[in-house]
Every structure is written in C-alpha cells, then in structure tokens.
Amino acid sequence: MNIKKYIYNVIQPAEKGSIISKIFDLFIMAFILFSVASVFIMTFPVSAKTIRLMSRIEEWSLIIFSVEYLLRIWTADYLFPNDGKIKSRLKYMVSGMALIDLIAILPFFLPMFLPVNLVGIRAFRLIRLLRIFKLHRYTAALASIGEVFKKKSQEILVSIFFVSILLVISSLLIYYAEHDAQPKQFSNAFSGLWWAVATLTTVGYGDIYPVTVLGRILGTVIALMGIGMVAVPTGILSAGFVEYLEQKQSDTKETDKEEEKKYCPHCGKKL
Amino acid sequence: MNIKKYIYNVIQPAEKGSIISKIFDLFIMAFILFSVASVFIMTFPVSAKTIRLMSRIEEWSLIIFSVEYLLRIWTADYLFPNDGKIKSRLKYMVSGMALIDLIAILPFFLPMFLPVNLVGIRAFRLIRLLRIFKLHRYTAALASIGEVFKKKSQEILVSIFFVSILLVISSLLIYYAEHDAQPKQFSNAFSGLWWAVATLTTVGYGDIYPVTVLGRILGTVIALMGIGMVAVPTGILSAGFVEYLEQKQSDTKETDKEEEKKYCPHCGKKL
Amino acid sequence: MNIKKYIYNVIQPAEKGSIISKIFDLFIMAFILFSVASVFIMTFPVSAKTIRLMSRIEEWSLIIFSVEYLLRIWTADYLFPNDGKIKSRLKYMVSGMALIDLIAILPFFLPMFLPVNLVGIRAFRLIRLLRIFKLHRYTAALASIGEVFKKKSQEILVSIFFVSILLVISSLLIYYAEHDAQPKQFSNAFSGLWWAVATLTTVGYGDIYPVTVLGRILGTVIALMGIGMVAVPTGILSAGFVEYLEQKQSDTKETDKEEEKKYCPHCGKKL
Amino acid sequence: MNIKKYIYNVIQPAEKGSIISKIFDLFIMAFILFSVASVFIMTFPVSAKTIRLMSRIEEWSLIIFSVEYLLRIWTADYLFPNDGKIKSRLKYMVSGMALIDLIAILPFFLPMFLPVNLVGIRAFRLIRLLRIFKLHRYTAALASIGEVFKKKSQEILVSIFFVSILLVISSLLIYYAEHDAQPKQFSNAFSGLWWAVATLTTVGYGDIYPVTVLGRILGTVIALMGIGMVAVPTGILSAGFVEYLEQKQSDTKETDKEEEKKYCPHCGKKL
C-alpha cells in the first residue's frame, strides 16, 4: 500500500478497529473541543499568559485543520474512484462536510484580507464532530430527520410565512394599544415585534408586556395563538415521521411479498 | 388579443415566464412591503420630511391597489368564463383574496366617513403577498393545513371551549387565593385572568405570580394543565395530518385497486 | 300532550326548531353568564348599589337553577322511559350533567349549614353551557377526546408519576445548590419545588432562578427535560388520536367489506 | 411453607389479596414518604427537637430499607428459580429495582467513609414507590414508553447533539452581540449559554435578555428555533408511539392471518 492510500485510510473515520485511524480521530476531536473551549475562556477577564496560550492553541488548531483539509482533497480520488482526478476533488470540495471544514478554517485566512473578527464561527467546528460520530451509528436517524424536513419543507415554509405575517400584525396592533400607556417600553413598532416574538414563542422574558385592557386582550389572543404556532409544525412533523416510517415498512413488505408469496411452494401455481 | 385580455394576463400571477406579468408582480410586492415598512417607520420619532415621504408612499400604494382592485373586478369574467358578466364579478368580489384586497384599500376610503385611524390594518396587506407566491409552489401545502383545520374544527372548538372555562375558573380561584396577600397585583378577577393566560400558555412574563402557599399550589396545578393545553391540540392536529396523508394515499390506492379488481375471478364478469 | 311532557320538551336542548325551547335555552344561558359576570364584577371596588344588584342577580340565578334542577328530576322518567319512576330519577341524578347542575346551585344551600364562601364554585356553571351547545354539533368531537384520554389513562398516569418524582428530586437538588447563594429566594425546599414547576412546565416567571454555576447546570438539565415533559404526553395523545381514527375507519370498512364483497353479483360464487 | 418462602411472599408486591403483604407494602410506602418529607422539613428553620425527630425517622428508614434489601437478596433464589444460589442473587443485585434500593440506603453507609452530605439522594427513594404500584396496573404503559424511547434513542441522541451545538453557537453569538451593551449581564460566554438555554427551551426567566438590535434579531431567530426544538422530538416520539401501537396490532393480526392463510387454495397443502 502506498503512502497516499495509507493516509486516506487514516483520515477516514475509524471503522474496522484500525488503531492509528482511531487515534487520529481522537486527536482531531480534542483540537475541535480545545478550539471551542478557548473561545469560551477568552470571554473571561483572563491574564495575558492565558490569552497567549489560547492563541497558540487556536493557531495550532488552524494549522492542523488546514493540513487535514488539504489531505482530504488530495485523497478524494479514493473516495470517488469512478471519477477523474479533478472531478473527484471538486465533487468532494462542494460536499456538505467539506464546506463545514472550510468554514472551520476560514478565520485563519480571512484576517489577511478583511479586518473582521469572526471568532464566533469557530463554534461551527463542533458540527465537524458529527463526521467522527456519524458513520458508526446514526446515519439512519439523521437521514430520517433530514428526509422528513425535506418532504415537509413546503408546509414548514407556509407556516413560517404565516408566522411572519402574524408577527408583523401583532407588533403593530400592540404598539398602538400600548404606546400611550408605556411610551418607554413600547417606543416603536420594533419593540412591539420583540414582544410579539417573546409571546408567540411562549418565551415571555417579562422585559416588556401589555398593561392596558386592550393590550392584555390582544396579548391573550396572541398567547393562545402561540399554542397553535407550536401545535401546527409539531403536527406536520409528527405526520411526516409517521409517513416516513410507514413508507419504509411498506417498501420492505412489498419486496418480501413479491418474492415470497407469488407462488405456492408445493404445486407451483400462482396464488 | 384585446386590451382587457392582455390586462387580465398581466395581473394574474406570472406563470409561464411572461416578463411583463412578472414585473407587475414585483411592482405590487414592492409597494406592499413599502407600505408596511412605512407604518413601522412612522412609529419612530421621525422628521416632518420623512412623515411627508411616508404619506406620499401610502397615498400612491392606495391608488395603485385601488386601480388593481378595479382591474381585477373588471377582468373577473375571464376568471369565471362560465358565469355571466355580473355573476362572475360578484363571485370574485366575495372570494377570500378579493376581500383581503378590499381590506387593504379600505383605510383610504373610510376616513372620508369615519374619524378613525386604521393604520394597523395595513399589515393585512402582507397576506396579499400570498397571492404572488402561492400559485407557484405552495398550493398543496396550504390545502393540507386548511383541510386539517377544517376537519378538526369541532375538536378545536371543543378545546377552546374547555380552555375558556378553565381560564375563568383559574382566574377566580387565584384571585381569591392571592388578593389579600397581593392586593395591588391581583386587584380584581381580570388580573387573575391575565395571570391564568400567561400560565396556561406557559408564556410566564413574571409581571404577576402567586406568592401564597395556596396560590402556588393552584399555580402548580394550572401550569401542569398548561402542558395538556399544548398536548391536546397538538395531538388532534397530528392525527389530522396523519389522517390527511393516509386519505390521500388510500385514494390513490383505491383507484389502482378498482382497475385491478373490477372483474370476478370465477366468471370474469365485471363486478 | 300533558303539562309534564310539555315541560320535558322545553327543558331539553332545542333540536327541532321549537321556539319556546330555544328561548328557554337562551334564558338559562343568559343567567349562567350573568351569574359568572357578577362574580367578576364583585372583585372590583364597586358601590353598595352594584353589590345589591349583583346579589339580586345571584339570588334569582339560584332560584331559577334550583327550579330547573327539580323540573329535570321530575321529568327524568321521560329521559329513561324503560326504567321505573324512582330508578330513572336516581339514574339522572348521578349522571355527570346533573351533578354539575347540583354543584352550580350548592352555594345557595350550603351557607345555611356552613359559614364558607364558595363563590369560586359559580364558575363551574360555565360547564353547564356545554349542555346547551353539546347536543347540536360536538358530541363526536367530545367523545373522541374523552375516549383518547380514557384509553391512554395509564400512560398519562405513569407520566404524572415520573413528573412528580422529577419535581421532588429537582426541588431538593436546586435547594442545596442555591440556598447558600440566595437564602431569601430559596428559603426552603418548597421554594425549590415552585422553581422546578416553573422550569419543567417552561412557564419561567422569573421570580426565582439559579445564579450559581451548579444551580445553572441543574437548571439547564431540568429545562431540557421540560421539553421531554411536553413531548412525551403530546406523543402519547397524538398516537391515541391516530389510533382512535384508524379504529373508527377500520370499523366502518370491515362492515362495508363484509356486506358488499362476499359474493360475485353475477355468478353468486364466493370471492 | 417455610419461613423464607413466607418472607418472599410478603416482600413481593401484594397481588392476590394477601393482607400481610399489603400491610408490608403500605408500611414501606409510609417510610418512603416519611423519609422524603423529613428532607423537606429539614430545609425549614426548625427547632432542635424537630431535627432530632427527623433524624430518628431517617435512621429508622435506613434500618428498615437495609433489612428489606438484605431480605430481598436472601430470597432472590425464589425470584429466579432456574438459576443457582449465587447466580440468582447476583442477577437480582444488578437489576434496575435492586440498584435503586441500594442507592436509597447508600447515604447510611457512605458517611462512614466519606464526609459528604448526600441528602438529596433520598428523593430517589420515591422511584421505589414504582415497585409498589407497578405490578398492579401499569406494566404495559411503562413498557410502551420505555420501548418507544429505546427504539427512538438514535433520533433523540442526534437531536440532543444538534441542540448542544446550537446552544454553543447561540451562546457565543449572543455574547459578542450583547457584551458591550450589557457587560454585567453578559459577562462571559457562559452567561450567553444560560440565556440560550432559557430561550431555546422557551422558559424565559427574564433575568437575562438581549437589548441591542443585533441581539434581538439573534434572539428572534433562536426563539423561533426553540419551537423546532419542541416540535422535532415531539414528532419523533409521536411517530414512535404510533409505530409501537401499529406493531402490536399487526402482531395480533399476523397471528390471525397465519392461522387462516396457512394453506394453498389450489392444492390444500400447507405453505
């Protein structure tokens, strides 16, 4: 086995008990967690020494992730053996996982061109943990959730559309109902929008709420609609999951039936 | 093609790539968004110049929407070609979409007769966006949600009835439990009702809450019932969506079966 | 028709367009609403005159409801024509609706014996509105909800049992985590229980919440479990409603199939 | 019947109306409730006398539960009559119920070795109540909930994984959006995490919330995602319960069918 094939086997998630591949996975995983932890630590009033250490960890993470990204592109022709050298690599580069990898290392290269601080983006690296966990056990579960969201995307979009309109109407109505009584809290229609979001999602922080009779009647109606806002998407997704399971079961049954039950095993006649 | 037919094709949502119809849609959509945005902007302490600009936009929106409304009525005989000149137009005028159009332009004509400020009603114009989006992709999704709500309307009404009674009973009980301890917060039974709404919908702003032992026991029972208040309608709608999907599937199957099982296997005659 | 039969027809919910029966329904409905409204009004700081008026309304309500209750018992032998004079009346008296009627008039007779103020009980009269609405349209919907709750009562009870244990465990753990940091807010384990209820039901008033690191970790775990607390009963009820619908459909189908599809209509042979 | 067999029958949950077994159950139940109640009472500023009484109750509870635990192990060979003397006892000791029993008496023995105060663990004894209630009625309901959680464990784990990532990303983004405006409330990324938990679970205590425009836009997006966080697991569990019921029904049907359809209609031979 040549060196390229060997690297390919190591960087793919460990499956058949290859110890080096497993160590590599744990190593990458540790750096992902270090890198995210360092973002959390940096938000505390830490000493200059800690800041230097955290920066060092981040630099090393970026170097490791960049090397890993390049290695994955280099060995992509093993992943898609039927495509050409360039096509297989391009195919890999536009895949979901490769794009997440790219986002994870982008803050390393961006500051060279842009003066922005994209430190929040590092948290996206956590999604990369999925790669390490995924192939072992959860593909079916992930696929089912993804499939249901895809199949119900129209219903979900329609729900979001209605919710948006409901939010806009609610925010204007509550603004006109409450502005005179609470000019500071309901200073403009966007305050009303913030209240409508907190109420319709039933979060209810309590930083802003109606005090007038009209405002409370509106609040009652909107809070009760908030239940519908949970009930409708939940109902849609529930039905989606039921449908998905039944589709899968009927697929299995159809195949079983077609193969087994067509002929009598004794006389050979069609049943 | 005469001018009327041409106008009809333009004002109907663009389907077959007619560029003028598409421009018309975008034009109307822009004015709907402008008109709603202007209501939001007017709630800020803006300069007199901005107010004049916003009023101008609103005036133009109303003129455009009014002309569009009249054109739609004028060309309604193309929409219902089987009905007479008057019948087709009346049929259009009482359709849901036409009524929303009418509500959207009403504030233009009402102030002539009434001194009210119906500025909140402008947000209803957002529903009109539905017309522009709808025919392209979401009819099936909309139909399914509408169908489920219609089929489950009895269960939903019964739930609303029980929730209303629960709200009234809760508000009285909490008032008697808390009035003496918090005479300011629970000043009358309507304060109790406002608390009951915030608790049963699990919004919980925190502007009003029980502090006595009896009040907190009541609060515990009512908050736990709040879970039922989400679970029951969600369960009803879930079952509704499952039923809807199965109905659709079995309809397809029935048609298949009917074609297959039309003949008696013994005599070969049609059943 | 004798007077008893006539009264029976009047006090039963109007079905076939009998105007007097309808007027009687509206009359009772009005007094139920008056009676509940008067409880709400009495919680305001009203004048002595209003108090007298409200008391008068309540007295009349009680007299009317008592007379109605006695008339219903008197005519109960028409409701259960197959039972004897006494048995039919006892049967009626222990029925759900008759018991609600009795509860509605109890505060009238109780003060003679007990010094309690049972004014909150008047709100139960609202349940009586059900009688007036029910027979017209909603029996099937009510039956379906009742049936699902009955069939799933074991699962619901098991859920309530686990929730109770979860509440007790959470309340003790949060008390020990937060008592030292907030001795006033978390003064004893019942404060912890009140916090646990507000968190698990996702109400979250904000009158009491953890501030220590340990307390917030606990709060995070318990708040996430709160999602399960909504998801599990909702899932149980959803499945219950789906099951109920399928049971009903398969009952209808079975009957249809058995009757229609047993024999070929042409040759008379069994299919 | 020897004394060991007799003890075994007494300590097993009462089934066939044995009065002594029932009294034993009630006796254990009372001590469980006493023991948990004493933990609650001890959190109040009680007199030294009450503390002594509570300690006495706890000591007696521990002695009783320890004796009961030993008796259960001693008689475990009746529970698993097919296994050997040692194997049957080990089998019992690692069963779920025996482990809960052990946890319930652990605080008695631990302080001898460790200086910790594990008083919160006493609440776990409540789970023991399950043993007393369970065998009578709720086994099927418990089994169904357990089965659904087991079957959907992958989907639930995937959901928890995504929620964790969402929490981490949200907490970093809100920290960067709000830190400058509210340096005290959003002092570090963990404050952001606490806010993200309260928002995504829709608890919304109101102790911490965004005030900047960017923070509120983030808050809106995250609060709306909170609906998905309820809808997805609810949908998964709903489908799980529907699947469980259908599986059970089809199992019954299959058995019916197998008996009916065992023979070929042409040759009469068994298939």
pLDDT tens-digit series, residues A50-71: 888 888 887 888 888 888 889 9
- In a 10 Å sphere around its CB, with 0-12 CB exposed, 13-18 middle and 19+ buried, how is residue C146 labelled? exposed
pLDDT level of residue C134 (50, 70, 90 thresholds): very low
Percent of chain A with pLDDT over 90: 21
> What's the CATH class of domain D3-138?
mainly alpha
What six digits make up the tokens of B230?
A: 């989400």
pLDDT level of residue B256 (50, 70, 90 thresholds): low
Q: A150 pairs with which residues across the strands?
A: none
Q: Tokens 């699947």 correspond to what residue?
A: D243
Q: Tokens 């039919």 correspond to what residue?
A: C88
Query: CA-to-CA distance for A200 and A223, rounded, in angstroms?
Result: 6
Residues of CATH 1.10.287.70 domain(s) within chain A?
A: 154-260
Say yes or no for a CB contact (<8 Å) between A239 and B229.
no
Q: Which pLDDT score is estimated for B232? A: 92
> Average pLDDT of C190-218?
93
Q: Tokens 């909150």 correspond to what residue?
A: C120
The contacts found for B177-180 with CB under 8 angstroms, 24 or more apart, are B177/B210, B177/B212, B177/B214, B177/B215, B177/B218, B178/B210, B178/B211, B178/B212, B178/B215, B179/C43
Count how many pairs of residues, chain B against chain C, have C-beta atoms within 8 Å: 144
Do the beta carbons of residue D193 and residue D266 sit within 8 Å? no
Percent of chain B with pLDDT over 90: 21
Residues of D in contact with B204 (CB under 8 A): 203-204
Residue B209 has pLDDT above 90, yes or no: yes
Give the nearest partner residue to D158 out of A145, A206, A238, using CB atoms.
A145
Q: In chain B, which residue's Cα lies nearest the Cα of A235?
A: B238
Q: Which pLDDT score is estimated for A222? A: 93
Q: Which pLDDT score is estimated for A256? A: 62
| Touching chains, B (3+ CB pairs < 8 A) | A, C, D
From the CA atom positions of chain B, what is the Rg in Å? 27
Residue A115 has pLDDT above 50, yes or no: no
Residue C66 has pLDDT above 70, yes or no: yes
Which of B196, B208, B207 lies closest to B168, judged by CA? B196
Query: CA-to-CA distance for D4 and A267, rounded, in angstroms?
Result: 62
Residues of D in contact with B206 (CB under 8 A): 205-206
What six digits make up the tokens of C85?
A: 């004079």
**Which of B194, B229, B245, B252 would best serve as a mutation to test chain A binding (most A beta carbons within 10 A)?**
B194
What region does A186 belong to: left with phi over 0, alpha with psi -120 to 50, or beta?
beta
Would you call A216 an interface residue with chain B, using a CB distance cutoff of 8 Å? Answer: yes
- Alpha helices (runs of H) in D43-124, residue ranges in sequence order: 48-74, 76-79, 85-93, 96-113
Would you call A175 an interface residue with chain B, using a CB distance cutoff of 8 Å? Answer: yes
| Touching chains, D (3+ CB pairs < 8 A) | A, B, C
Q: Which pLDDT score is estimated for C262? A: 55
> Average pLDDT of B138-155?
84
Q: Which pLDDT score is estimated for B116? A: 47
Tell me, rounded to whole angstroms, the distance of Cα D130 from its chain centroid. Answer: 10
Query: CA-to-CA distance for B106 and C265, rounded, in angstroms?
Result: 63
- Return mean pLDDT, chain B: 81
Residue D146 DSSP SS3: helix
What six digits make up the tokens of C263?
A: 């024999």
- In chain C, what's the furthest Cα-to-Cα distance? 89
The whole model's pTM is what?
Answer: 0.85
Which of D205, C190, C206 lies closest to B209, judged by CA? C206
Give the nearest partner residue to A238 out of C202, C205, C238, using CB atoms.
C238
Residue C220 has pLDDT above 70, yes or no: yes
Neighbours of D69 (CB within 10 A): 16
Residue A118 has pLDDT above 70, yes or no: no
Query: CA-to-CA distance for B260 and B250, rounded, in angstroms?
Result: 15
What six digits make up the tokens of A157?
A: 């979009």
Shortest Cα distance, chain D CAs vs residue C271, angstroms: 12
Q: What is the ipTM of this complex?
A: 0.82
Say yes or no for a CB contact (<8 Å) between C172 and D39.
yes
What six digits make up the tokens of A205?
A: 């922080």
Domain C154-260 has CATH 1.10.287.70: yes
Residues of CATH 1.20.120 domain(s) within chain B?
A: 3-138
> Average pLDDT of C182-197?
93
Would you call A271 an interface residue with chain D, using a CB distance cutoff of 8 Å? Answer: yes
Residue C48 has pLDDT above 60, yes or no: yes
| Touching chains, C (3+ CB pairs < 8 A) | A, B, D
Residues of D in contact with A40 (CB under 8 A): 172, 188-190
What region does B84 belong to: left with phi over 0, alpha with psi -120 to 50, or beta?
beta
User: Which residues, including other chains, have CB under 8 Å from residue C196's CB and lie 6 or more apart?
Assistant: C166, C167, C170, C171, C174, C222
Cα angle vertex A133, ends A131, A139, to 5°?
A: 80
Q: Which pLDDT score is estimated for B109? A: 67
The least confident of A165-179, C118-132, C173-187 is C118-132
> Average pLDDT of B229-234?
90
pLDDT level of residue C135 (50, 70, 90 thresholds): very low
Q: In chain C, which residue's Cα lies nearest the Cα of D229?
A: C227
> Average pLDDT of C157-177?
87
Q: Which pLDDT score is estimated for D65? A: 85
Dihedral in degrees, nearest 10, Cα atoms B86, B88, B89, B95:
140
Residues of D in contact with B237 (CB under 8 A): none
Residue B263 DSSP SS3: strand
Helices (H) and strands (E) in chain A, counts: 11, 0
Q: Which pLDDT score is estimated for C122? A: 62
pLDDT tens-digit series, residues C106-133: 766 665 555 445 555 666 666 666 655 5
Query: CA-to-CA distance for A107 and A121, rounded, in angstroms?
Result: 8
> Average pLDDT of C70-96?
85
Say yes or no for a CB contact (<8 Å) between C206 and A202.
no
How many alpha carbons lie under 13 Å from residue A33 in its C-beta half-sphere? 10
**Which of B151, B162, B168, B261 would best serve as a mutation to test chain C binding (most C beta carbons within 10 A)?**
B168
Percent of chain A with pLDDT over 70: 79
Shortest Cα distance, chain C CAs vs residue B99, angstroms: 29
Would you call D247 an interface residue with chain A, using a CB distance cutoff of 8 Å? Answer: no
Query: CA-to-CA distance for B36 and B126, rounded, in angstroms?
Result: 8
Shortest Cα distance, chain A CAs vs residue D190, angstroms: 7
Angle between helix D85-93 and D48-74 (nearest 10): 140
The Cα-based distances of A3 to A12, A28, A78, A271 in angstroms read 14, 20, 13, 59
Q: Which pLDDT score is estimated for C9? A: 81
The least confident of A154-158, B256-260, C63-67 is B256-260
What six digits make up the tokens of A75?
A: 């060995």
Residue B135 has pLDDT above 50, yes or no: no
Q: A270 pairs with which residues across the strands?
A: A263
Say yes or no for a CB contact (<8 Å) between C202 and A202.
yes
Do the beta carbons of residue D30 and residue D23 sit within 8 Å? no
Which of D250, D238, D251 lies closest to D145, judged by CA? D238
Do the beta carbons of residue C221 and residue C246 sit within 8 Å? no
The Cα-based distances of B104 to B61, B164, C150 in angstroms read 10, 32, 48
Percent of chain C with pLDDT over 70: 79
Which of B201, D192, B193 lies closest to A203, judged by CA? B201
The Cα-based distances of B269 to A97, B103, C47, C86, C269 in angstroms read 60, 60, 86, 62, 12
Query: CA-to-CA distance for B91 and B99, rounded, in angstroms?
Result: 11
Tens of pLDDT along chain D (271 residues) come to: 688 888 888 887 656 667 888 888 888 888 888 878 887 888 888 888 988 888 888 788 888 888 888 998 888 888 888 888 888 888 888 887 788 778 777 766 665 555 445 555 666 666 666 655 544 456 677 788 888 999 898 888 888 888 888 898 889 889 988 999 999 999 998 999 999 999 999 999 999 999 999 999 999 999 999 888 889 999 999 999 998 888 887 777 666 655 555 555 566 565 5
The Cα-based distances of D164 to C207, C221, D53, D161, D168 in angstroms read 27, 12, 45, 5, 6
Residue A257 has pLDDT above 90, yes or no: no
Q: Which pLDDT score is estimated for A138? A: 66
